[in-house]
Amino acid sequence: MSKVPVPSTFRDRKAANPAITDAELLNSGNTSASPATDSDVTVVGAGIHGLLYSIGTRFRWPDAPIKLSVFEKATRPQWKIGESTLPYFAAWTNTVGLKPEYLLRIFTLHDGLEFYTLDRENQPEYTDFCSGGPPPNLNIAYQLQRAMSELVFTIFAQRNGIDVWHGHAADVQNTVVSAEGDVIPIKNVTSNQEIVTKSPLLVDATGRFRQFASKAARVKRFEDGFNQDAFWAYFVSEREDEIENELRGFEAGHTNHICFPEGWMYLIRMISWDGSPLPNLIDMVNYVLDHAAAGTPHDEVPSTAELAKMFGLTYRFIWSIGYATRSDTTWPEDLTPYGSNEAERRFNFITQKYQKLTAVMKLFTRLEDHYGSDFEKWQIRKQLNYQSAVVSGPGWITIGDGLGFTNPLLSPGINTGIASDALAAELTYKVLRAKTEEEKRVIWKKYDDFAAAAIPSLHKMNQFLYLCLLHPTLGGRIAFMWALMAGHAKDKYAIARIGFNIEIERYSEFAENWHWGAQTEDYVSIANKVIEVLGKNHVDQRPTDAQVQEIVDHSEMLRKAAVEANRYLGFPFRFDAWFRNFGPQIEYDPEKYPYADSIAALCHNCKTWNPRRADWRICANCGVDRPQSEYEIQYTPPLPAEYLLGFATVAPLESFNEDQRAFLVAHRAAEQLKHKLLTPTNYTGATPDPLPPMMMVWPPPPKPHVMTSPAVPYYTTPAAMEEVTEAVEAMKM
């Protein structure tokens, strides 16, 4: 194990002063003893976007003396909905040094997206679509308990010189924002003492409340039946292994979606630290971040279970389960038989309407005690869909959900919302250096244009996806294939093509141009076709066979043209291994391609999902040694040599298994020798005869020394072969 010392700083502070409040304890981690009366940037709201923006600004401009102060009304990080993240979020955390070796001790693995589309008229039939995540040696994603994620980012911000003040509320009504500077009254919610802080830039990170953006303009609603309501609760399950009996291919490590014409259900499994003492949590998070700073290898970081024991914490795995339904859903006139409140009634009505949902929910038990006695056991949020007409002005901007929100189906809240955080961080330093308001408006225009285009594009994606859910063929074959393909393989901004390896200086450029590919020509075309054909269908009206075929034909036309133009093919996209039911040319054939790569495995000891990665051999949750069958990626179909070589350019060599490393080292040595032997300066006299070719193959054939495939050219002489053999043997030692 690493020699990183175990801190007790915050437990000691609590022991020395038992009356210290949560806010005082958290605030004692700040660099300053009290809130500053002036800052370069004042951030109102310490939710995830306020923290990501602040951290991003600090890391994007490390040499700039930007003073950031973050104020949060809540006395400690609170629970929030929106727990699923994607590799794009993890690509950002990687840029600031928060890598999966460490975050997987605190959060839960998210390794893919699964969508089941129910056939309402032919129950319990359904279609399925699954997209595995990237190989874990490239990147992974996380399921977040939001109270814990905000705590982690608060502590990380403080460790990097950003003051985050909990229990301090901005007086929105009496705040003055102007080109001459902002004056923001801040009230301590416990003592009622007030200070006034001044800064040239105020960042509204109050999310859907839009506390400052709402003063600039009224919110815009998309009144077309897709302004969804969401209702949810938290559950546990002692019968997780039975879910696959109801849903083929089900893995708890995925974000799972069960879709139907009125909307969809989500099932997210995550670690909950609810009930653990705050001082102990802070010390534990600091300890994990100390390991991150020290670069401790994955297998030397204490497991989640070990951390809980070391710091006196409790945790458990829970499920966040809920629905997001269209606003034009047909409800019974009297919902009272379905529960005690509106959220429970709606939840139970939809569940009982579908045989498959009823069968799945029998495997779960709702939590009665989660988040304390004051927490409403059933939650509901209405009118999710909106857009802010104005997102910046003299002396202020809004970020994250302040720009707008469409629907959580493809997790845009954090995963596309982070684009606003990154772009705002990119522009902040330039704005602070600008001398006039006219110069600042020119700089912020890029931000305004980004927001003006992003939300309508995501809303069109929302319409497209929901209309496809009217028929199981469209859900399984059209909707999610296009979203995943157009998003991840987007021309010029396919971050997957560089293995999610990106520096923070370039992250904004990728993030602001991603948006699930919702602005790409192919995606807009298929979305427009679906809206044209099905846009007038009522939610209770099943599409005709002719309507479905018209959409399928249009999709096939686009797919064939894209394949012919090589628009989405090529490293690292192996569609027959990435998309279940699709072939290498993105052709739909469930009978021929009912498989996909397995990039995560269930721990044989604790039944927790872990990434398959050859150098991560212990379970991140329980710490046991995993057998080879659990830590190696199962490639189906086998990984071609050119893909293995491609992965090797963007992933650590140690993350491959022994046979793969032997192949890669041998290939590297061979290429070096090829270059050496074919360099004219190595010869005198006449031009030498061409060297006889020898071919290597990956995957290795049954007899590893027999190499017959022409996949990778390999030039050699007896002396060269000896050198290659020595290199391979040295690697194995």
Q: Which uninterrupted H or E stretch holds 441? A: helix 437-468
Amino acid residing at 558: L
CA nearest neighbour of 114 among 637, 579, 589: 579
Q: 213 pLDDT band (50/70/90 cuts)?
A: confident
**Could you give the angle at which helices 504-512 and 87-95 cross, rounded to 10 degrees?**
160
Q: In terms of pLDDT, which residue wins out, 697 or 729?
A: 729
Q: What is the pLDDT of residue 571?
A: 82
Q: What is the pLDDT of residue 374?
A: 63
The CA distance from 585 to 593, in Å, is 12
Q: What is the pLDDT of residue 572?
A: 86
| Residue 212, pLDDT above cutoff 50 | yes
Q: What is the secondary structure of 132-156 as a DSSP string?
A: E---TTT--EEE--HHHHHHHHHHH
**Mean pLDDT confidence for 575-588:** 95
The angle at the Cα of 276, spanning 271 to 282, to the nearest 5 degrees, equals 95
The CA distance from 288 to 292, in Å, is 6
- Two tokens at 428? 């902040």
Max Cα–Cα distance, the chain, nearest Å: 96
Q: Which uninterrupted H or E stretch holds 357? A: helix 355-361
Q: What is the pLDDT of residue 684?
A: 46
- pLDDT, tens digit, for every residue of 611-669? 999 999 999 999 999 999 999 999 999 888 888 888 888 888 899 988 898 888 888 88
- pLDDT, tens digit, for every residue of 384-439? 889 999 999 999 999 999 999 988 888 778 988 999 999 999 999 999 999 999 99
- pLDDT, tens digit, for every residue of 479-499? 999 999 988 888 788 888 888
CA nearest neighbour of 392 among 556, 202, 526: 202
Q: What is the pLDDT of residue 2?
A: 65
Do residues 384 and 228 make contact, with C-beta atoms less than 8 angstroms apart?
yes
What are the sequence ranges of the domains in the chain? Answer: 469-594, 657-733
Write out 258-323 in H/E/C secondary structure: EEECCEEEEEEEEEECCCCCHHHHHHHHHHHHHHHHHCCCHHHCCCHHHHHHHHCCCCEEEEEEEE
**Mean pLDDT confidence for 26-34:** 97
43 burial class (0-12, 13-18, 19+ CB within 10 angstroms)? buried
Q: 260 pLDDT band (50/70/90 cuts)?
A: very high
The angle at the Cα of 305, spanning 301 to 307, to the nearest 5 degrees, equals 55
Q: What is the pLDDT of residue 336?
A: 97
Mean pLDDT for all residues in the chain: 90
Q: What are phi and psi of 255, to 5 degrees?
A: -85, 115
Q: 701 pLDDT band (50/70/90 cuts)?
A: very low
**Mean pLDDT confidence for 713-722:** 41
Least confident of 37-46, 283-292, 568-577: 568-577
Q: 695 pLDDT band (50/70/90 cuts)?
A: very low
Q: What is the pLDDT of residue 416?
A: 85
| Residue 356, pLDDT above cutoff 80 | yes
Q: What is the pLDDT of residue 672?
A: 75
Q: What is the pLDDT of residue 714?
A: 31
Q: In terms of pLDDT, which residue wins out, 266 or 411?
A: 266
Q: 570 pLDDT band (50/70/90 cuts)?
A: confident
Q: What are phi and psi of 410, to 5 degrees?
A: -110, 30
Least confident of 9-18, 125-134, 422-431, 711-720: 711-720
The CA distance from 216 to 443, in Å, is 19
- pLDDT, tens digit, for every residue of 226-255? 878 999 999 999 999 999 999 999 999 999
Can you give the C-alpha Rg of the chain in angstroms? 27
- pLDDT, tens digit, for every residue of 56-85? 999 999 999 999 999 999 999 988 888 899
Q: What is the pLDDT of residue 675?
A: 67
Q: What is the pLDDT of residue 413?
A: 82
| Percentage above 90 pLDDT, the chain | 73
Q: What is the pLDDT of residue 696?
A: 44
| Percentage above 70 pLDDT, the chain | 91
